Each structure stands twice: as C-alpha cells, then as structure tokens.
Structure 1
C-alpha cells in the first residue's frame, strides 16, 4: 500500500512539474534569454541586478530597463543610450503591467536599431541625488533574441482561439512606448 501511494505521489509530482515546464520555455541566445510563457514573450539580458530587454503581450511589444529602483506608474524621465559609435536621448516611462513595473524605453525604433548594431549598449539614468546611474549590457545574441521574441509573439497572436461568444471586443489599452507587432520592421 505504501509503495502504491509513493508511486501515486511521484506520478502527481511529475505531472505537475512537467506541465509547469511546458508552460515556460527558455532559450539562451548569446548573452540573452528568450522566455515564452502563456500570454507573454520576453527576450532579455542582465548585468548584475539590472536587466534590459523586450517584452511582448498580446500584440504589443516594448523595450524596457529594470533595476532595483521603484518607479511610479506614469512617471517619465529622459535617459541617454550609448552604443557602438552612436548615442541617443530617449524617454523612459514607468508602467505597471500585470503587477510588474516596467521602465519602458521610447522611441522603440531607436532602441531596436541599437540592438541591431550589436556590441555593447549603455544607459545613463538621472538619479534624484544629481548623479547618473549607468548600466551596460552585452548585445551578443541580442538581435537574434529580439527577432525570436517578435516571431513568437506573432505566432502566438495567430494561434489564439477565436471567442465562442461573439461579444464586442474591448480594445487593448496601448502601453506608452509600446509598438504593435504589425508596426515593427526587423
């Protein structure tokens, strides 16, 4: 009887964890990780306690920075981005999506172009004490990871089941700084 219960318990655990493993797929591309889960796709790289990446949900994608500082949803600040022989002034806006704070970078295409160049990218963010916080990220594998995330987001959008009850669809509120999949050229 104990042996039967142990096997039953083990079978339950394997079933539970195998379902969880199928729910989240992680692929490493260079220094980047592409993570696909039901409802969202993310490609990111990290440096210490900070990360930089692209996040897609439904048909919206956005580049973001994430650090240990808490931002306030709706707050905006200018930041500087520097890459191989290139620099740009960007805006960063804090938005809360599914309970997670994102510091969304805009304009989208300027960040995408820098990821395409490869090498390293640095961001200088003004701090309240008058100094700058600087974070640097490797773009090794970045463009391939971003392209995979965008392709996965497009595939997920095409395979969404059609609603059985044709209720009028509520338009998805655009997230500031995000781009719709059909507007992104890679």
Structure 2
C-alpha cells in the first residue's frame, strides 16, 4: 500500500475510535476484472483469482484488521446486485442507530470533551501524516510548491486553538 493510503487509514482510525467502527463499511470493487493477456477460462468473470483472494485476505488480516475486529463491516462488490445489497445494508444500519449516541471518537472529542481540533486524535494523526508527507516530499526532491503547502498546512494544524467558551450574558 502507498504511504498516502496508509496515512488515510491512520486518519480514519483516529476519526472512528474504538466505538465508531460499527458504523464503517469497507469494500473492494472491480476485483473480477481480468487484465489483457490472462486466460478467461482460468479466471471467469465473477470469480476472483487466487492472487486476488490473497490480496483481499492480506487487506483484511493486516491493514483492515483493527477496523474489522472493532466491528467494521466488509463487502466484496462484484456487480450491481452486490452494490445494491451493500447500500441496503448501510441504510438498514443507519435506521438501527441511536440518534443520541455519539458514535465516532471525533464527535466525542469535539462535542463532549470540547477539545480544539488540533488536540483531538484525528488532529494529531493529521499532523503526523502531514509531517510524514513533508519528509517524503523533501527526501524525494519534490515540488517546492507542494513542500511549502505542506509546511503551511502543518503549521496551521499545529496552532493550538482553545475551545470556545460560552458565557452567560449578564442581565
């Protein structure tokens, strides 16, 4: 997996927290596509090859392990019927949600704990990801504009904003 994908996954983990995974749906798509030069008799459309099944297992056992163990859902999409089934499952799960329940870690941190975004787990994960992206860009001799943009984003996120305090008006 690319560094960008791994960073996105770390941000997703911070957003969800341990209790939010039950609201997350992970899916693989277009894994039945047969590249040019492959024998369709060995890998008929609608049936994943052994290599694809191994990649899928690796995703589930390594990259998505924490998500799935925390209650995230997984589906393999293989055409319109499985797309519709996934959408149906998502809509059903939304109907089962308790409206008063704060499900994701970011919601709890912002609403209940009243943390400023940079102080949340998601804010910390984003700062870390921006720093890694900046280091990678510098190491590779990357685009100067991108390097400056990453520096600005990291600096902005590093500012520790205080949560707004609400004061009662004096009568």
> One fold, TM greater than 0.5?
no
Give the alignment's TM-score, normalised by structure 2: 0.28
Give the alignment's TM-score, normalised by structure 1: 0.27
Higher relative contact order (CA 8 A, sep 6+): 2
Higher helix share: 2
Higher strand share: 1
